[in-house]
């Protein structure tokens, strides 16, 4: 087992990474003596609820099983979690245990942040995307029909327990989606990790355990450092949004179904790279390396056709907009990104026009 730490003073917490962690009692050890509500979904429950129950042996807990899918990451679904907490007479010593992918983690974390003005929660991620990204850092929330993650709260978990055995049952498409966020860390701050990903793309796709564990651990290390430096995204944390302004627009446009978050982020990263090259900031060789790696990982590098005016409007529904000005994460090189509003609009226009549908 690897253990990392997210260093946030009194809100610091461990990230455990390794095989066989679900049944090892780690969940029970982090309940701080209170009762637990396990939040999971209809796909994950039959696969892993029994193993999580072994990790909760001797504890007082119950479960709520939600419908599966990004389209259910809504306030309406939160209501089901609140109902379970109230019907189960959970008090402020309760711990919410999020067992599942990023949808379950974001939603259960938000319920924990808001139930009785805030109770503790544990992230027990079972997708690659959740293990490398969403379980770490305390961004919780749900979608609004007009914009991704528009309702939410910063609320750090008490621990992250990433059992890498769960990745064995992940559909191939979901594995690739998680790899999009892994590539992101290489691009924004870790050129050596990007080189490693180029050398190990096939090993990752065939789920070589050592390669997957390394990818999870290096991703968590990078994310923990970024979050520790800027917990509430006053500045540098926004780099973790590489590709997301383009990508969230795809997810909203498609009604949170059809495109996976990681797929939309991959297309968004490729678009951010093209725009960076159009601005003269990223050389063509590094842009081509970026696109080639995403493609080898079986990820899309272009958005679906979206009318230009709609794409522009969707991109403005973004938490990085300040004073009406769009800010984007753009690349200066592999391993070097900036968040900026200072770019030539023509480069953005050109990037959007390349793929736009007729208005």
Ligand X SMILES: O=C(O)C(=O)C[C@@H](O)[C@H](O)[C@H](O)COP(=O)(O)O
Confirm or reject binding of residue 290 to ligand X (CB under 6 A).
no
Q: Does 263 bind ligand X (CB under 6 A)?
A: no
- One character per residue 76-105, x = contact with ligand NAD (rule: CB under 6 A): ------------------------xxxxx-
Residue 7's alpha-carbon distances to 162, 301, 314, in angstroms, are 18, 34, 35
Among 158, 184, 214, 223, the one annotated catalytic: 223
237 near ligand X, judged by CB under 6 A: yes
Tell me if 137 is assigned to a ligand binding site.
Answer: no
The site partner of 291 among ligand X, ligand NAD, none (C-beta below 5 to 8 Å per kind) is none
- Give 337-344's long-range contacts (Cβ < 8 A, gap of 24+): 337/187, 337/188, 337/189, 337/239, 337/242, 338/239, 339/235, 339/236, 339/238, 339/239, 339/241, 343/275, 343/279, 344/279
248 is catalytic: yes
Which structure tokens are listed for 23?
């049944």
- Cα–Cα separations (whole angstroms), residue 140 to 23, 295, 331: 26, 30, 27
Q: Is 319 in the site for ligand X (CB under 6 A)?
A: yes
| 6 is an interface residue for ligand NAD by CB under 6 A | no
Q: Which residue is nearest to ligand X (CB)?
A: 149
- Neighbouring residues of 191: CB distance < 8 A, sequence distance ≥ 6: 333, 334, 335, 336
Of 244, 274, 287, 327, the residue at the interface with ligand X (CB under 6 A) is: 244
CA distance 114 to 110: 6
Which residue from 101, 105, 137, 303 is in contact with ligand X, where contact means CB under 6 A? Answer: 137
36-41 and 13-18 strand pairing: unpaired
Q: Which does 177 bind (CB under 5 to 8 A by kind): ligand X, ligand NAD, none?
A: ligand NAD
> With respect to ligand NAD, which residue has the nearer C-beta, 162 or 347?
162
Q: Is 221 a catalytic residue?
A: no
CB count, 10 Å around CB of 8? 15
Q: Report the catalytic residues.
A: 117, 139, 181, 223, 233, 237, 241, 244, 248, 261
Which residues are documented as binding site for NAD(+)? 68-73, 102-106, 126-127, 139, 148, 166-169
Point out which residues bind ligand X (CB under 6 A): 133, 137, 139, 148-149, 181, 233, 237, 240-241, 244, 319
Point out which residues bind ligand NAD (CB under 6 A): 41, 43-44, 47, 68, 70, 73, 100-104, 106, 126-127, 129-130, 133-134, 137, 139, 149, 166, 169-170, 174, 177, 181, 261-262
């Amino acid at each position: 087992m690897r253990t990392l730490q997210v260093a946030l003073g009194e809100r610091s917490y461990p990230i455990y990474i390794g095989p066989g962690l679900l049944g090892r009692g780690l969940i029970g050890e982090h309940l701080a003596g209170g009762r637990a509500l396990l939040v999971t979904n209809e796909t994950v429950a039959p696969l892993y609820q029994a193993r999580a129950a072994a990790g909760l042996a001797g504890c007082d807990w119950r479960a709520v099983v939600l419908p599966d899918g990004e389209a259910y990451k809504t306030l309406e679904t939160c209501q089901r979690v609140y109902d379970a907490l109230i019907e189960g007479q959970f008090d402020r010593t309760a711990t919410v245990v999020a067992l599942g992918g990023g949808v379950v983690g974001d939603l259960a974390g938000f319920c924990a942040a808001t139930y009785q003005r805030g109770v503790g929660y544990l992230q027990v991620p079972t997708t690659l995307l959740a293990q490398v990204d969403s379980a770490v850092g305390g961004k919780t929330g749900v979608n609004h029909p007009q914009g991704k993650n528009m309702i939410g709260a910063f609320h750090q978990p008490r621990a992250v327990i990433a059992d890498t055995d769960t990745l064995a049952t992940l559909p191939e498409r979901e594995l690739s989606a998680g790899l999009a966020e892994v590539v992101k860390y290489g691009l924004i701050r870790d050129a050596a990790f990007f080189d490693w990903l180029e050398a190990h793309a096939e090993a990752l796709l065939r789920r070589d355990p050592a390669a997957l564990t390394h990818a999870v651990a290096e991703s968590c290390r990078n994310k923990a450092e970024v979050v520790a430096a800027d917990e509430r995204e006053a500045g540098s944390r926004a780099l973790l949004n590489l590709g997301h302004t383009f990508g969230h627009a795809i997810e909203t446009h498609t009604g949170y179904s059809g495109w996976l978050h990681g797929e939309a982020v991959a297309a968004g990263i490729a678009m951010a790279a093209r725009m960076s090259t159009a601005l003269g900031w990223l050389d063509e060789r590094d842009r081509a390396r970026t696109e080639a790696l995403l493609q080898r990982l079986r990820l899309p590098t272009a958005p679906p056709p979206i009318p230009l005016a709609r794409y522009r409007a969707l991109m403005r529904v973004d938490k990085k907009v300040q004073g009406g000005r769009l800010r984007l994460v753009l690349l200066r090189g592999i391993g070097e990104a900036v968040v900026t509003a200072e770019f030539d609009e023509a480069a953005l226009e050109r990037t959007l026009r390349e793929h736009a549908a007729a208005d």
